[in-house]
Amino acid sequence: MSNDKSSDSSPGHLHRLVLFSDAVFAIAITLLAIEIHPPHHWHGVPDLFGQMGPKLLAYALSFAVVGVGWFSHRRVFARLTKANGGLDFFNFVVLGLIALLPLATELLWEAGNQALPVYIGLVALIGVAMGLMWAYAAFVGKLTEPMPTAEAWFVWLRVTLLPGLMCGLSLYSLMHPWAWILMVLLLVGLGWMSKRVIAPAPKAA
């Protein structure tokens, strides 16, 4: 016996999924800051920031990674009209990986370069999981608003690659400042492609 109000694809399902996801992103960012502790002994502000420099850089990087992940997540869910159990599964995979970022950040400031493969691997997995979630929603579950196929593939490419690319460029720019130019070019290029591929939303009457 079916009940429209309790249906697996009801509008309330999607709304609750968005609220829960936003809470996980917010908690992940909060835990990044909570894990930062001042040194036991320091002499003056320069010494303080000298000792805390690796932690603060790792925090700034992870804050940016969570931010990019949230923007990608928002872009995906802004195009959905309903949710189902399959979307729940992929969304929980994404959130589970996001929740590991505070741990990966602590590894980064404790182990330095030795932890870089672990950190970058986690960020890349977040992008892959986000891409799988969008691919399921757009091509399998048919949970999205009507859109051209080219736009659906562009969204998939952006949410899959952007977290890893931004993370890699951010780390590279710490050693080579000119890499910031590549980051700006990447963002400008994505913005240009977005205007070319994504159709403008219809205006409300």
CB-CB contact of 34 with 103 (8 Å): no
Kindly state the average pLDDT of the residues 157-166. Answer: 77
- pLDDT score, position 170: 64
Within-domain flag for 20: yes
Q: Does pLDDT of 129 surpass 50?
A: yes
Domain that includes residue 193, residue range: 10-38+49-197
Question: Lowest mean pLDDT: which of 107-111, 124-128, 132-136?
Answer: 107-111
Q: What is the pTM of this model?
A: 0.77
Model confidence band, residue 134 (pLDDT cutoffs 50, 70, 90): very high
- The CA-atom distances, in angstroms, between 5 and each of 13, 17, 20, 30, 142 are 10, 16, 20, 35, 20
- pLDDT score, position 20: 96
Alpha carbon distance 170, 130 (integer Å): 20
For 108, the 3-state DSSP assignment is helix
Alpha carbon distance 76, 80 (integer Å): 7
Number of domains in the chain: 1
Within-domain flag for 202: no
Within-domain flag for 109: yes
- pLDDT score, position 30: 92
Within-domain flag for 3: no
Higher pLDDT, 136 or 121: 136
Residue corresponding to tokens 């890349």: 124
